[in-house]
Structure formats: C-alpha cells, structure tokens
C-alpha cells in the first residue's frame, strides 16, 4: 500500500521516488509525498491508497541531534486532516507521516515572520508602513475584524480602513501563508536522535503557515462641533478650523468632503439666505477639519435650514408717501402688496402750524417684523408695536423691513426688503395774528 501518487508519471516524481527507494528496497513500501500531501496554508491533508486502514502522524521534534518522535496520532481510514492550530508559526515545524507498511517521512512547514508591525495613518486610516522579520516576504497582508475571518491577501497600501472610523475598530493583520507549487524533498536527509536508530527521514517542504497577527486600532471619529443659529440675525456660527457644506433641495451631486468650505483660523458667520441661495430648504453639514497624519475629521454635525421669508425684492419698492395727496399717514407697500407697516408723522404744531418732528412706524401685520430706518439700529416690532425716529435721522432715508427672527419657534429672520423712502411732509407756517 502507498500514499497516492497524484503527480505519478511526471519526470520529477519518478526521479524523487527512485532516489528515495534506493537499491534493494521494497517497491511496495515506497511512498510518494508529492502526490498524497496537500497543504492549503492552514491545514495539512494526507491521502493514502484506498485499501490503507490507518494513517499515522506526529509533530516531530527536530534539533541538531536529529529527529525525535514521541508518539503517533492514529487516523482511521485512508485520509487524514492534521490539526496545525497548536503549532508555533514563528519556527520550523515538522510533521512525521507514515502508514503501516511504509517508512515515515517529514513534512516541513517553514517558519513564518516573527515580527509583524503595521503603522497606520490616523487621518486616512491606511497602513503606511509594514515591518516584518528580515528576509520575510512582507509584500502582502490579510486583514480581519474582531468578529470576522481573514479575507484575500493584498498589498498593505491597498487597504482602506476609513469606513471603520465612524465607530472605531480593532483590526488584525498577518502575513498570509505560502504554498509550494511543487512539493519536493530537501537535499539532506535527517537522522534519528535515538541512539542506535539508523533511520533516515526524507524532508518535504510545503510552505509556511500565516504569520503572527498584529493588532491595529482605528480611532473613532470625534462628534461634530457645535453649530449655533442666531435666529434674530439670520446667521449661522461655524467654529474655526472646521469645514462646511450645504446639501440643498434639488442638488444633483453632493459637494465632496475635500471641497467643503474651510473656515481657517476664524469662525464663519454666513447667513441662512447665503447658504441656501435659491433653495427653499437644505441641511448644513459641519465638521472639524482633519489634522494631517494625526487625526481624522470629525463626524458631520447636521443642521436643517429653511429659507428665510421674503417680503419684497429690492426692485419692488415704492417710495413713501405714495403720492402728494398723502401727507401725514400711509402704508408701506411693495408690488402693490401691503408689508404690514403703517407710517405716520408726529405733528407738534399748534394753532394750525404743522411741525413734523418724527416718523412713527406701526406693525399692523400680525406677525413680528423688523424695521430699520437708514443707518439706525433695527428694531423688532411685535403686533401693534411702534418705532419712532426723529426727523433729522429719518427724512430721505430708506426703510428696510423683514420678518423678525423667533428663537423660541426656530424661525430665522427673513430677507431684508427695501420697502420705501421716508419723505416728511412740508411744515406749514402758523397763520398771522
């Protein structure tokens, strides 16, 4: 009975078999390991002839003194899969194999790298450097997660772990196993370490087990920065050293992370109207910028934006008073539509003399509005509230109006509309006595 000769008939197999059998040996006891030994990188399978009843294997101890086999593991039948999980992958391992009528031979699994160290760029989550034992092949690695299994081997620079930055992860890398395309015997036979035993063992190399795994840590992204909205001013406060972008209704494509607007060393305070442009609504996304080589960008902070209300466009303005017939009271209008603010003038004259000293603007809209006359400080007017401005600061000045911001109800201040120009009525002289 013999181990199956899968490669029987090839010149290489014939030469190896002839060399091992030697002159005068029993041909029926010859074993051809090149046909009956299969190594897939993690397990070793032995296949004998179909009429073999048992296969014996042993993890042999090999030293300068020779080969020592303490005991045999007996597999019933003509196939055996040898458990390699307990082997030390960083040293040469020898598995002795025999059948009842064939001499034992050794399968050598060569030492894998003793050192595997991966350096990860904390910003990009890519391996930038891989250190292995001198002379070991470190061109490719395999990777697994804490709960996963090792996948296909590839060059370490081709792995991108940025997808693990959201939650952070512990990953494990190793140098993959190597397998000999053709199993051949080493040039030197190994003798027995037992005194008086003249046995010589042929040694067949099959490759290496995977190298020792190394742990790498992918840092979790920090939470996004705080972004505040000033509802009264209609602006957004974006912290310094951040990047921001807006996802707007109707966008055909997302602005790439690298193309997001950077605030630099100063915070930014863009208006909601500026951020949305012509869009009715959108989402502002803000995150702390990456620190090259040291820290990845934070998660995005997302803030929903709704376009501010528009009362009127600057081109749709009507001067106040609207006609010469209106002298003491009128309504600010735009495009023929009332903005909701009545304008009147305070008359301080007596006995028929009209001395107009200030303008009074009253909110009649029912919704809070904000009014600004010229360069004077704007004032929010609740329903029926008034704004009074002295004549010397109001006459000939433009009036701007917008829907007032409301922090409690998260209403952003509307867009300023130039609603008209204050024109005081001419003062009348008092009648002569």
- Reference 120, options 20, 216, 264, 19; nearest CA is 216
Kindly give the confidence (pLDDT) of every residue in the chain, 433 residues in length, as a single tens digit, with 9 standing for 90 and above. 444 433 233 333 333 333 333 333 333 333 457 678 999 988 999 998 888 889 999 999 999 999 999 999 999 988 999 999 999 999 999 999 998 878 899 999 999 999 999 999 999 999 999 999 988 889 999 999 999 999 999 999 999 999 999 999 999 999 999 998 888 788 778 988 888 888 899 999 999 999 999 999 999 999 999 999 999 999 999 999 999 999 997 888 889 998 999 999 999 999 998 999 889 999 999 999 999 999 999 999 999 999 888 775 555 555 555 443 444 566 665 555 566 778 888 888 877 778 889 989 888 877 888 999 999 999 999 989 999 999 999 988 888 888 899 888 888 898 888 777 888 877 777 666 5
Tokens coding 178: 């190597």
User: To 5 degrees, how large is the angle CA 338–CA 405–CA 421?
Assistant: 40
Which letter does DSSP use for residue 274 in this model? Answer: H
pTM above 0.85, yes or no: no
| Cβ count near 376 (within 10 Å) | 14
Task: At 108, list the tokens.
Answer: 């050598």
269-315 confidence digits (pLDDT tens):
999 989 998 899 999 999 999 999 999 999 999 999 998 887 755 55
What are 319's two structure tokens?
A: 């001067």
Interstrand relation of 102-110 and 203-208 (parallel, antiparallel or unpaired): parallel
Burial 163-198 (b: 16+ CB within 10 A, else e): ebbeeebebbbbbbbbeeeebbbeeeebebbeeeee
Terminal-to-terminal C-alpha distance of the chain: 147
CA distance 55 to 73: 8
């Amino acid at each position: 009975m013999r181990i199956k000769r899968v490669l029987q008939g090839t010149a290489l197999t014939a030469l190896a078999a002839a060399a091992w059998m030697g002159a005068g040996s029993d041909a029926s006891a010859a074993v051809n390991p090149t046909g009956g030994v299969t190594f897939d990188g993690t397990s070793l399978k032995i296949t004998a002839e179909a009429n073999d009843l048992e296969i014996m294997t042993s993890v042999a101890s090999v030293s300068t003194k020779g080969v020592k086999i303490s005991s045999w593991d007996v597999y019933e039948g003509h196939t055996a899969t040898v458990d390699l999980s307990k082997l030390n992958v960083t040293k040469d391992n020898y598995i002795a194999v025999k059948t009842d009528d064939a001499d034992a031979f050794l399968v050598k699994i060569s030492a894998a790298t003793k050192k595997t160290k991966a350096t990860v760029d904390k910003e990009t989550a890519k391996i930038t450097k891989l250190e292995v034992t001198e002379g070991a092949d470190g061109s490719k690695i395999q990777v697994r997660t804490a709960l996963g299994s090792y996948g296909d081997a590839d060059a370490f620079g081709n792995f991108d772990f940025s997808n693990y930055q959201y939650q952070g992860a512990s990953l494990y890398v190793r140098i993959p196993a190597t397998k000999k395309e053709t199993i051949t015997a080493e040039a030197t036979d190994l003798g027995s370490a037992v005194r008086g035993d003249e046995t010589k063992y042929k040694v067949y190399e099959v490759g290496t087990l995977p190298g020792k795994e190394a742990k790498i840590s992918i840092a979790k992204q920090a939470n996004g920065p705080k972004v505040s909205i000033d509802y009264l001013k209609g602006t957004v406060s974006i912290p310094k050293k951040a990047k921001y972008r807006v996802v707007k209704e109707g966008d055909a494509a997302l602005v790439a992370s690298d193309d997001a607007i950077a605030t630099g060393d100063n915070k930014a305070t863009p208006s909601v109207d500026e951020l949305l442009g012509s869009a009715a609504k959108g989402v502002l996304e803000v995150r702390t910028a990456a620190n090259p080589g040291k820290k990845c960008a934070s998660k995005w902070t997302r803030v929903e934006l709704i376009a501010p209300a528009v009362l009127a466009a600057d081109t749709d303005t009507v001067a106040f008073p609207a006609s010469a017939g209106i002298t003491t009271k009128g309504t600010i209008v735009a495009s023929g539509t009332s903005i909701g603010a009545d304008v009147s003038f305070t008359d301080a004259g007596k006995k028929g003399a009209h001395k107009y000293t200030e303008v009074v603007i009253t909110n009649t809209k029912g919704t809070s509005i904000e009014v600004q006359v010229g360069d004077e400080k704007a004032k929010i007017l609740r329903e029926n509230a008034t704004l009074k401005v002295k004549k010397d600061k109001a006459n000939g000045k433009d009036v701007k109006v917008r829907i007032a911001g409301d922090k409690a109800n998260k209403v952003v201040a509307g867009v300023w509309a130039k609603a008209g120009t204050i024109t005081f009525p001419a003062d009348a002289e008092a009648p002569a006595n």
